[in-house]
Amino acid sequence: MALNQNQYDHMISYAQRLGVTTDQLEQWADTYYLDRIKVNVYRDIIGRLQRLEREREMQSAGVPTPEPGVPLATSRQVEYARDLIARRIRSGDDAGYFSTKGLVQDGRIRTDILAHMPRHEISALIDSLRGTY
């Protein structure tokens, strides 16, 4: 099934917002005719754009992109760190040696960024938030 006009417009505007050129999109789709790609190719491209956006958000938040093979945070670590950050927000406390800059955006704790942190880094964050450093 081919794309509809809304899907095509969404893909192009999303790519432009991220600074991805149509040449790059054509390369990802392996065709010069982006308006004729199949829906599954469209989903792959949107997935790539979402990963790119997430990587950039993590970089701007100061969270380094983990190297392949580095174990990522466990779900328990993410939940615990989220709870500790929420407590810090409620109390107004800004102590600790580990910055939470970028981990809270528009009043929302970015669990997606916490989940992509290497295990050893989220452990350091938790220690900092608990004050056990």
Domain of residue 120, residue span? 75-130
Assigned domain for 66 exists: no
Query: Quick check: 34 pLDDT over 90?
Result: no
Give the amino acid at 67: E
Query: Quick check: 74 pLDDT over 60?
Result: yes
Query: Quick check: 19 pLDDT over 80?
Result: yes
> Taking the model in full, what pTM does it have?
0.55
Residue predicted with more confidence, 2 or 50: 50
| pLDDT value, residue 96 | 55
The verdict on 56 and 17 lying in the same domain is: yes
| pLDDT value, residue 76 | 95
Query: Quick check: 100 pLDDT over 80?
Result: no
| pLDDT value, residue 98 | 65
- Domain end marker among 20, 35, 60: 60
Query: Quick check: 61 pLDDT over 80?
Result: no
The verdict on 56 and 10 lying in the same domain is: yes
Q: How high does pLDDT run on average in the chain?
A: 85
For residue 51, what are the CA distances in angstroms to 7, 45, 73? Answer: 18, 10, 18
